[in-house]
Structure formats: structure tokens, C-alpha cells
Chain A
Amino acid sequence: MQLPAKMIHSLFLVNSSGDIFLEKHWKSVVSRSVCDYFFEAQERASEPENVPPVIPTPHHYLISVLRHRIYFVAVIQSEVPPLFVIEFLHRVVDTFQDYFGVCTEAAIKDNVVVVYELLEEMLDNGFPLATESNILKELIKPPTILRTVVNTITGSTNVGEQLPTGQLSVVPWRRTGVKYTNNEAYFDVVEEIDAIIDKSGSTITAEIQGVIDACVKLTGMPDLTLSFMNPRLLDDVSFHPCVRFKRWEAERILSFIPPDGNFRLLSYHVSCQNLVAIPVYVKHNITFREGSSQGRFELTLGPKQTMGKGLEAVLISSQLPRGVLNTNLNPSQGTYNFDPVTKLLSWDVGKINPQKLPSLKGSMSLQAGASKPDENPTINIQFKIQQSALSGLKVNRLDMYGEKYKPFKGIKYMTKAGKFQVLPAGTGLGFKKIIQYKYRTKHTSLQEGLNTT
């Protein structure tokens, strides 16, 4: 009797052209033809990210994630929480990125043996075994140019010579015997603001997604505490397993024995209820006239509530309607580009000088004879603000216990735009106006609606 085996059975890596370039099986071998169901779904999907993450097939289930234009397709035979698999696959990608700097098809192919060794350690019989970066690095050394050269000459190995005692540790995320001559701990507070702004400039939604990423290189077994000036901001947080929940709950202090090297200490979310200051504004006017083959395009942007810090790396992009053939626009600074095939307009603005606001103006040519485009484009904005966390989060102090030396401590703040959109005027189906209208006038005769058609 063959029982359906649980957990992750096999993994296939598929590139964007639909080739399997790596396969790994943790139990008996599953034929790669199982991926045909995945390819079918891939073909049906209009965009790469529209492939359903869970695909049932007659004998298996395929659960996949898409990262760096590679699909990581896990084969499952029976009930398992889908998020369990998805979270694990993302962990695999993170590990590859950590080891090879990038996670591309080329990098994976170049390091196929290390990849295989990693996958072997990360799952045992389909169940996660060692997923902590610190433990893995003790088991399998990340490739470096120097090591690769030395290895080829001397025939020495990537695999750790010593036994990986970290797996036995009560602090499983930190390896043993860490030694540095310069002891340092850096923390980066990085915030991403997601917002939808309507044309009048009022905020429909805005929220901040923040993380504190750490790079800790400290000798021995340091026990750190990190406190904030305004911990009340952090009411929606998720922690690295090293953080002691109870201490946070009781005192709002982050107390932890850090992993060695780079890791994400915590992620937090500041919702729109907490009044997020919007650092940028956009004025735009895009018009098409019925019967005309020309459209007008005008866009100006400027800083707003940035606490004196400058807006940098500003990039505007917008998907223009299909009817637009080409554009003839004039940027006051930076460079702009319009791709007539994808209809994607992008304008690399660079740094904003508050004295001289950047603008992009000009005309668009439309397909001759085509009717006036239905839709108005949404404007997407990217930007960065150095030395400032938009939520106002501030670290108070960092203390170390358990070790005698004095470490060097550093903290950095940064804000970036995440999904930051400015909506055009009359979008979509024109339904909004109707609804607002109806709400004001309660009841209007249907005849009106009929006459207009």
C-alpha cells in the first residue's frame, strides 16, 4: 500500500520561458511531466504573476511562488497548509539570495552543487530541518571568488569541516564561536509608504510598512536590548524568533540574542488611522478630446511635509491607454521615456529642488480614427528620503549585556515609496459619479438614464 506522503515532495525551478532548470526530490522521484499542469496555467495567465499559487492536478498539488522571474514549484501529495509551503519557498529564495548575492537562473546554475547541498539540509523527508541562515552557513560555506579559486586548486570543500554544533544550540538562530576584531552592530530603520491619492490630493489610503534590518557582528553571545522613544507607534509588529515576546509585551523593549550577520529584526505596520504625512504631491491633467487625434498631458510635482529632508530618486511611471500612439513631452529636468509597445511612460526625475518644481508637459498622439480612450491613467511614484522615518519612529538606545567589550553602534533611517499611486479624475466606468449623485438626489427617474443612450 502506498500512502500519500505529506509535506513537500519535490521542487522544480522553472524560468520565464517555461524550462525546468533544476529539480530536487526529497522522497521518491516525481516525473517532471507533472509540471505540464503548471505550464498550462502559465499559458493561460495574462501576466506572469497571475499564475495561481495553488494548482490541483489529478495526483498532486502544485504550490508555487514567483521571485526574480523564477517560479519555484513545489509538488505536494496530500493535505498541508499552503502557507507552510509558500513561506518555505520564500525562505529558500531568501537563502539563495543570501548565498549568491542574487537569485537568478545563472547564479543557481553556476552554484548548482551548493544549491543542492542547501536544499538537502533545508528539508528532511519534505519537512523543514535547518532554515536559519546562521546554521546553514555553518554547514555549507557561501561561495566566494577566493574560495572558489582555492577550492579548484587544492580540492578543498565548501562543506564545513567542523560539525555544525549550531543545530544543537538552545539559540538555534546563532552560531557558536563567533569572533570579530571590530565589534559592530548596525540597525537600519527602513519605511515604505503605500498610498492612494485622489486627484484633488486627498489621501484615500496611506500606510507605512517598516522594517528594522540589522547587521550585527559581535563576538561571543551578546544579549541586546533596543528601546524606542515612541514605542507606541509599534502596535502592529512581527518579530524575528530571537525577540522575547514577553519582554516586549510588558515593557515595550526589544530584548534578544541576535543571529550573527544580517537579519530582519522586526517588521511593523503603521496604518492610515495614525495619520501619515504624505511627503509629495502631484498635479496632473491628462485630457483627450472626442474626435481629435491629440491629447494633452501636464504633470507637476513637489515636496510636502518632508521635515526638511530632500526627496531623491524620484521616478514617475504611468500606463497610458492603449489608444496612445506616441508622446511628445518636455521634462523640466531628468529624462523621460515612452515605450509605444507597452504604452509605459516613465520619467526619471531625480532629486527635487523645492525652489524649482519639476514638470512634464506636452502632447500625445492618438491612433487615427480610434475613439477617445475610456480610461485615464494612474500615476505611480517612487522616491526616497534619507535620514528620516516617515512615521517618526526613533530608536532611543541600544545596550549590550553578557559580553565585556564595547561595540560600535550605528543607526540609519530611510523612507521609500512603496505602492504610491495618484488616481486620475473620472476613472473606470463612471460609476462613481452616478452613485454620489444618487445619494444626493435619492431617486431619479430611470428615463433620464435611458435618454442619454
Chain B
Amino acid sequence: PSSSPRHDDLKEMLDSNKDSLKLEAMKRIVAMIARGKNASDLFPAVVKNVACKNIEVKKLVYVYLVRYAEEQQDLALLSISTFQRGLKDPNQLIRASALRVLSSIRVTIIVPIMMLAIKEAASDMSPYVRKTAAHAIPKLYSLDPEQKDCLIEVIEKLLADKTTLVAGSVVMAFEEVCPERIDLIHKNYRKLCNLLIDVEEWGQVVIINMLTRYARTQFLNPNMNESLLEEGGGEKAFYGSDNDDDTDDEEDKEEKEKKKTEATAIVKRKPYVMDPDHRLLLRNTKPLLQSRNAAVVMAVAQLYFHLAPKAEVGVIAKALVRLMRSHSEVQYVVLQNVATMSIKRRGMFEPYLKSFYIRSTDPTQIKVLKLEVLTNLANETNISTILREFQDDHFNDKDFVAATIQAIGRCATNIGEVRDTCLNGLVQLLSNRDELVVAESVVVIKKLLQMQPEQHSDIIKHMAKLTDNIQVPMARASILWLIGEYCEHVPKIAPDVLRKMAKTFTNEEDIVKLQIINLAAKLYLTNSKQTKLLTQYVLNLAKYDQNYDIRDRARFIRQLIVPTDKSGALSKYAKKLFLALKPAPVLESPFKDRDHFQLGSLSHLLNAKAGGYQVLPDWPEAAPDPSVRNVEVKESVPEWTKCSSREKRKEKKADKPFYSDSEGESGPTESADSDTASGSESGSGSEESGSGSESEESNEESESASEEDEEEEGKKKKKNVEKIKARKPVPETCLAVHAVFTQPPPLPVSVPQTIIPSGNLKTYELLHRITGEGLSVEYCFSRQPFSPDPHMVAVKIQFTNSATSEAKSLHVEDAKLQSGMRIKEFPEIEVLPAGETVSVVMGIDFCDSTQAANFQLCTHTRKFFVSIQPPVGELMMPIFMTENEFKKEQGQLMGMNEITEKLTLEEKCQGEHAVVQRVTTAANLSRVPCGSDKECRFAGKTVTSGSLVLVSVVTKEDGAAQLTVNCEKMVIGTMLVKDILQALTQ
């Protein structure tokens, strides 16, 4: 208000009919906005100029409008018609710009207009307008989340777009609106992989991160057979793993042979074969490690870390090390990620050790992170270099000194060979002139000495002397604790220290006072003759201390250690209580286990889940059907299949100028840009280089990645599947071969393929982390046939050891089962190191009942009573039937064996797909083909007795439906009806 007179002249300028005055006014207004000054009272005057002819005025009006529309909703509506007109303009750039501004106006009342505009723009001829539509989707979604379903339809449509311009933007929209709808990606997966290299950098980052998550739900863990082996098993392969592809393959094969034999020794598993689509993703992202954009490089690095076979992860190290030479903010983020990676994959970074050397010019936070990485990389062979690195540096930076001394401590605990050297080094630091150095050293030495106190009484003596000089409270407290704890190793000095401390007690800091009391108590218990009076004195001082913690402690300790006739049973155990053997602390990296966050994410960096973070799922136990990614061939040849003739493509390219005016195009066409940017043959004569068929192939490589997939897979499987390989080179059968390779070998009809609900399997808790003292156990019904006994239900059990020490000999004992029930225990897990997770499968024959199976879960120290109770839907397994068989069987299970219920489908559950999904989630049944789309049928049999279970859902208008279950086991039938009803109506 104070500046309103000036605003008046701005209003006047805006009302004038000279563009130059309007422009000047708008410039001044924008400058106000930039400075954060309020210019909202000018809204009416500005909005009038929304249709101004001058482009710059118009643009600045847009800037203003987007900024203030939310505050001036009614007035903002005046501008809408201008944009609506713009949406119909024959020029694509004007259409795009109108949509962009319209969708940025945060006024709820125009939601329907926006929705309509987005829908129309999504089918626009111009890819640029379609890109703008993709950008508008998250804007509308954040304005009105109710529009989600409609927006998902638009996203689905745009995901099918084949231009690089749209790809990045629509995946961004997907990530914001419906990241859980992984199913929308299936059909577009191969296309996205192939377009990736030509998408703009920012889109690449978003797509790569999304595909990482996708791959985790669709493919098998390439290191699955190793996960049960020791960490060291695969280490060797890290070195020199960034060789060219040929040798990689060689190594791969060897590695796989080795793994196979080792793995079969431990558990019987199918040999791992990588899905060609998984390979496609790894191959197509790899060149992007060379991107100039650090975010792209990091995205590829995390993809490799989370998805690649161990032997191939090494390639990312060089790229990450290169990023370390970028701006310090980039370094900071990269080092955080390297720190996490270097714990799991140490070998990968060892060749680059020197790149982590600390420079005096590095900012402190970079120094500390480098130190962290160096500490993680320390081993017997490089430790001496690293220790030297710890001090070849300026020590004027206090935070860094502290970090360095702690790092030395960690090396000392982790690497036995250098423990003495480190300890001696630290002891030397005790005579450093800088008190902080001394204090930090004391704290670390305390921890180290706890590991082997008996050998180091002279160090303890030395530290006792330090109490005269050192003033840092934490250090004093540490020394006192140490002397108290090991007072028997220094019987002469300890009482003397207590004497000195008693003198200064009143002037000490609280933490020091507590430790003096502690020391007094311990001495009283071991050497009461010399220290009785001193202890009494200290306790009396403490009794009148200002701090109530100290008063409390004094009272408590007096009761405990000084025997009186009233003293309770506890004082007998005082010595045990105070001088119990305490486990040495584990000095571990703060980056340990941080990789449960997707690397490169904000959540990983903060080690806390940020809003909107999508959890990186665990690998599935069995790969979902790979054929979902197949795209039908009939409508124009999709890029990922082999384009039958390159000549055809050439022609297309020839009559297509670089600057195709997309106005003239009839809808989205095959991406022309991918041709021009990666297929570089045109005019540069690369075809002549190399000789004969080989160069032919290398050229083809860029154009049809999936064909090469088959080839590679073919090589690997050569021995086993000679016959199939013979079919490989015929391009026409590409699809067929693809299917053969990705699906398991043909199975007898009686063992049908298991259907996995598209979501993750539901997991249940078996043992909570707290009751399990750090051991938590979860289970799920894996819906796999349990091979040792087909009459058992397979239960996948996952152990997670979040305690600090390892759990040993995990096994099942003492099962208390209802009659007839049987358990096939999982093989005993010998060791589960701290922080690790392991999954096993056990079989339970529930006798077709939902009674719980009770048993004990034992570790080497504890036993826990646990029970597993199956939902009725898990007591069956799917069988395959034709429609006629189904009808026939159903006819025989009438009367008492048939239960029918009417229901109203829940809103989101209307539609065939949703019904199938919900039923198969609720019960392990397979779908029976059916001629009518109004009816869904499912069939299965109970696991134990093999009784048939038939389910049909007939849908009618308005969500009404009828559910029929036929089963000769009436109890199962009744319960199943209840469960399915719940699934369909909730």
C-alpha cells in the first residue's frame, strides 16, 4: 500500500496503447516479483494485456499471471478464453504455449477445462504439443488429485508415443501420478530402452530411475545364486571388469559355471539365465556413463549397482571417479554414494584408491567423505598407504581431525594386523599439543582397548597421567571409565586417580562426575580397603550436587555397593553388575546398509525416507511372465524387433529432412531422431571400414538390440539348447524364438505355470525385531510348487538380522502340529551375519485346513515360539482347464458343494482386469479361458487332497455381480467365498 502511488503510474502505463510503455511497466513489475515484492494489486491492469500483440509483453504477462492467479482466482478466469483460443491455433508452438500457461494457472474451477485441453493435446499431431501435454499432467494432478484415473488414461496413451521428445516428459508424469502402475510400462519397456540414448538428458535420468524399479519387479536377481555364498565368492571378478564385451562374456560364462556348481551344492536351484530384456536395459544404459551430465551418469551407476551381475558392476567405478572432478556439490553427492557402494563392492573402487586422497583445499565435508571411503577400502595390503594418507595433510580443520582419528580407530578394529600400529600411533597423539586431538584420541583408544585390555595396562597407565592435563570432558570421562573398568590391571594407580578426582569433583562437568562415581563404585568393590573413605566422600559430594541425575546416581550406587542390613538382594551381585565383561563396541561405517535406499536418491543421501520416495522392491522369487512385454507385430514394425530391411529405413531417412516440420506429420511416427543420432552411417563412410559380414553386424547392433540379445543368450545356452539355437538366425521367427528363450521349457499340462499377482506377494510377520532381539522374520506364500513334496504349501521365510552380532544355526524345532499336518523344515542356516538378510523355503502340509502350524524357531542362543496360519486362498494351487472341462466339472459339484453370493463390485474393481487381479491375489487359482467378457472363471485344487476348487464371477450392470464357488470341501468353499467377497468389495 505504501508504494501504491507508484503502482498508479504503472497502471497508467499498462492502460496506454503504446507497447513500449506496457513493456516498460511489465519489466518493472517482473523486477518487483523477482525481488519478492508484492505486486498483486496490479492484477486487473495486467490481466487486460493477456492478448497483447507484443510477444515480450505477452510473455511477461504470463509470468505475472502464473504467479498471482492463485490469489486472484476470479480475475484470473478473465484470461482463460484467450488460452482456449490459443489451443486451437494452427501453429503448434502457440498451441503448446497456451496449454503450458493454462495448465500452470492454479485455479480449481478450471480443472475440467484443463482436463479437456490435456486430453486433446495428447492426441495432437505435433510431438511438441504432446510433450507439453505430458508436462501438464502433474500440474493438474497436484491441483486436483481426484482426476487421477482420467490422467492415468492420458499417461497410458502418451507412454505409447514413439518420439524421444515425449518419452522423458511422460515418464516424469507417470512417476508423479501413478508410479505404482508398473503394468503400464510392460508394453513400452523395450521401446523406452531403445529410445533412451536419444532422449534429452533430464528425461534420461527419470526414465533410468523408473526402469530400475521396473526391473526389480520383473526380472530375477542376477546374483541370486551367489547371495547364499559368502561375500568373497564373487569378489575376484571385480578387477578389470571394464574390459570390452567379448572378454566379459568369457568371464561371465566361467563365472556362471562356477556359480552353478557351487550353488547346486548348497541349494537345488534352476541355473540362472538372464532375461534378454534385462540384458537390453543394461546394454542400452551403459554408453550413458559417458554423458556430460552428472545426474545421468549417477542414474546409470545406480542402475548397474542395483541390477547388474556382480561381475559387470565394475564399469561404473571409472565414471563415478570421473564425476569426482566436477563441482564440489557433485563430488559431495557422488562420494556419499561411493561410500555406500564401497561397503558392498569394495574391489570395484580399489584401483581408484588414489582418487580419494585428501587435498588440503577440499571443503571439510568432502574431506570427511573421502576419509569414509578410504576407511571402507582399507585392507591388509593398502592400509599402510591409507594410514599415511590420514596424516599427509593439514590438521587445522578440527572436524576433520576428529574424523581422521575415528577412521584410524575403525581401521584398527577391522584389520587385526595393524591394530597395534594404530594404537601406538594414537598413543603418540596423546602428547599432541592440540587438546582436541588428544581428546578424540582418548575416546578412540578407549574403544580399542576394550578389545584386549590385558595387553595394554601401560597405555592405561599413560592415560591415567593425562587426567592432570586434559580438560575436554568427554576425554576425561573416557579415561575414568577405562581406569574403573580395568582397575585390576592398574591396582596402584587407580586409587590415586580417584583421590585426585575427589579433590576436583565439584568443578567437573556432569559427564565427568558420573564417571567419577562409577570409578569410585568399581574401586570400592575391588579394593575397598584403600578406597572406602574416598568413595564415601565422593558419594557425599554427589548427594548434594545440583544435578539430579548425579544425586540419583549417588543414591542408587550407595544402596547397591555399601552393605547395610536393609540392603536388598541386589547388592550381593554388585560386583557382577559393575564389572561384567562388556562387549567391545563395533566401530562401523555410518553408510552400512544404506543401499536399501535407491542409490542416487535424496532419501539415500539423507538416510531418511523423503516424501514421495518409491521403495526399491526386492527381486521377485520367480520371474513374472516375460511375454507381457511382447508387442503385437501387426501395427507397423516396432523398433525393438528386427527391422527386416535396413534399406527401407534408409529410404525413410532420405526423404526426411532433419527439420521435419511435424505439422505435416500424420500422428506420431517412428522416431526419426534415433536414426539420425545413432545410425551415423549417412555420408561418413563408416560402412566401408571393417570387413564383410562382421562390420555388417556391428552396424546392425545399434539398430536392433533385441536381435542381438537372442544371439548372446543363444551363445550362453549353446550347449543345452542346440535345437533352439538353430532357429535363431531367421529374423521372421524373432518373436517366437524370443518366447522360447524367455519362458521356461514346456511343462506338462498338469503342472501349470503359477500365477503371481501383479503386486508383490503379501508378507506376514513371523517374529518381530524386538521380540527376536534383533532378528526379524517375515514369511509369505511364494505360490511355487514345493518340489520335495507336492502336497505341501511352499512358505518363503525371510530372516533379517538387524542386531549387531551374527546369529548362528537358525533352524526349526519342536513343531506342535494338528494331527495329519506335516512340516518340511528348511535346511539349517549356519550363520547370518549382522545386517544381512536371507530367505529360505519350507514346506507345510496344512491338511487343507486353516489351522496354524506352530513350531519353534531356534538360534544358537534362543528359541522363539511362532506360528504360521494360512489364508484359505493359499491352500490351493492353480490348474489349467478348458472352458468345457470347467463346465463339466462345475456340473458335478452342485447342491451342497456350490455356494453363490450376490455382491456389488467396488468402484475401482469394475472391469475384467481388476476382477481377475483381485481374485488371483486372494486365492492361488488360475484363470480359465471364457468366451464371455461378463464372466471370469478360475480353477485350482487343494494342495493336500487335490479337491477341485472352481470359482466364477459373473458381472452385470452397475457393478452388480454374482460369485459362485464350487468345491467338495464345503468348509474351504465357504471360507473362500468370504475372502473373495471381501477382495472384490473392498
A residues with CB within 8 A of B:
1-7, 20-25, 27-29, 32, 46-47, 49-50, 52-54, 56, 61, 64-67, 76-84, 86-88, 90, 112-113, 115-117, 120, 124-125, 127-129, 131, 154-155, 157-161, 163-165, 167-172, 176, 196, 204-205, 207, 209, 221, 223, 225, 236-241, 244-247, 249-251, 255, 257, 264, 266-267, 269, 271-272, 319, 322, 371, 374-375, 378, 380, 401-402, 419, 421, 423, 427-432, 434-436, 438-439, 443-444, 446-447, 449-450, 452-453
For the complex, what is the distance from the CA of A157 to the CA of B608, rounded to whole Å? 48
Asked if residues B698 and A250 are in contact (CB atoms below 8 Å), the reply is yes
- Contact A244 B292, CB 8 Å, known A6-B176, A375-B395, A431-B428: no
B394-A50 in contact (CB<8A): no
Tell whether, in the assembled complex, residue A255 and residue B106 are in contact, meaning their CB atoms are under 8 Å apart. no
Q: What separation, in Å, do the CA atoms of A116 and B430 have in the docked complex?
A: 57
B420 (CB) vs chain A CBs: closest residue:
A443
Which of A3, A430, A452: most chain B Cβ within 10 A? A3
A432 pairs with B142, CB closer than 8 A = no
Which of A170, A236, A444 touches B673 (beta carbons < 8 Å)?
Answer: A170
On chain B, the number of residues with a Cβ less than 8 Å from chain A's Cβ atoms is 139
A196:B610 contact, CB within 8 angstroms: no
Q: Is B50 part of the contact surface with A, judged by Cβ < 8 Å?
A: no
A88 to B202, CA, bound (A): 9
Contact of B327 with A90 in the complex, beta carbons under 8 Å? yes
Q: Which of A53, A90, A255 makes the CB contact (< 8 A) with B333?
A: A53
Q: Which residues of A contact B295 (CB under 8 A)?
A: 81, 83-84, 86-88
24 A-B pairs whose Cβ atoms sit less than 8 Å apart in the complex:
A54-B602, A61-B606, A61-B610, A65-B327, A80-B602, A86-B330, A87-B295, A90-B327, A127-B169, A157-B56, A163-B94, A168-B127, A170-B658, A205-B355, A241-B292, A245-B678, A374-B434, A419-B361, A427-B391, A432-B388, A432-B391, A438-B420, A438-B421, A446-B424
State whether B292 touches A267 (Cβ < 8 A): yes
Question: How many Å lie between the Cα of A127 and that of B92 in the bound state?
Answer: 21
Complex Cα gap A251–B355 (Å)? 29
Tell me if B614 is interfacial: C-beta within 8 Å of chain A: yes
Q: For chains A and B in complex, what number of residue pairs have CB atoms within 8 angstroms? A: 347
Cβ-defined contact, B365 with A50, below 8 A: yes
Q: Are A244 and B677 in contact (CB under 8 A)?
A: yes
Contact across chains for A115 and B34 when beta carbons are under 8 A apart: yes
Question: Within 8 Å of chain A (Cβ to Cβ): is B340?
Answer: no
17 extra A-B contacts, CB within 8 A, seeds A77-B611, A131-B201: A22-B35, A52-B332, A52-B365, A53-B333, A54-B333, A61-B602, A83-B295, A86-B330, A86-B333, A87-B330, A113-B27, A124-B100, A205-B357, A374-B434, A378-B360, A428-B391, A432-B391
Tell me which residues from 57 to 90 in chain B have a Cβ below 8 Å from any Cβ of chain A.
Answer: 57, 59-60, 62-63, 67, 70
Quick check: is B31 within 8 A (CB to CB) of the other chain? yes
**Which residues of A are found within 8 Å of B359, using beta-carbon distances?**
196, 419, 421
A102 to chain B, nearest CB (A): 18
Determine whether the beta carbon of B55 is less than 8 Å from that of A236.
Answer: no
Are B290 and A239 touching (Cβ within 8 A)? yes
Which residues of chain B from 665 to 679 have any CB-CB distance to chain A below 8 Å in the complex?
672-673, 676-679
In Å, the complex CA distance between A127 and B135 comes to 8
Q: Are B393 and A428 in contact (CB under 8 A)?
A: yes
Q: Which residues of B contact A (CB under 8 A)?
A: 18-21, 23-24, 27, 30-31, 33-36, 54-57, 59-60, 62-63, 67, 70, 91-94, 100, 103-104, 106, 126-128, 135, 138-139, 141-142, 145, 165, 169, 172, 175-176, 197, 200-202, 205, 209, 287, 290-295, 297-299, 318, 322, 325, 327-330, 332-334, 354-355, 357, 359-361, 363-365, 384, 387-388, 390-397, 420-421, 424-425, 427-434, 437, 456, 458-459, 462, 600-603, 605-606, 608, 610-614, 658-662, 672-673, 676-680, 683-684, 686, 689, 698, 701-702
In the complex the two chains form, what is the Cα distance from A249 to B757 in whole Å? Answer: 42
Contact B680 A246, beta carbon cutoff 8 Å: yes
Knowing A112-B30, A167-B93, A432-B388, the reply to whether A79 touches B601 (Cβ < 8 A) is yes
Measured between alpha carbons, how far is A372 from B961 in the docked complex, in Å? 91
Check A435/B433 contact, CB under 8 A, given A83-B298, A170-B660, A375-B396.
no
Q: What are the 3 closest A-B residue pairs judged by CB atoms, nearest first?
A: A155-B20, A78-B612, A157-B56
A21, A56, A446: which has the most chain B beta carbons within 10 Å? Answer: A446
Question: Per DSSP, are chain A's interface residues mostly helix, strand or loop, or mixed?
Answer: mixed
The interface residues of chain A lying within 8 Å CB-to-CB of B106 are: 27-28
For residue B861, give the distance in angstroms from its CB to the closest CB of chain A. 37
Q: Say whether B387 contacts A435, CB under 8 Å.
A: yes
Partner of A269, one of B54, B56, B322, B684: B322
Which single residue of chain A is at the shortest CB-CB distance from B383? A435
What's the Cα separation between A255 and B681 when bound, in Å? 10
A444 CB contacts on chain B under 8 angstroms: 424
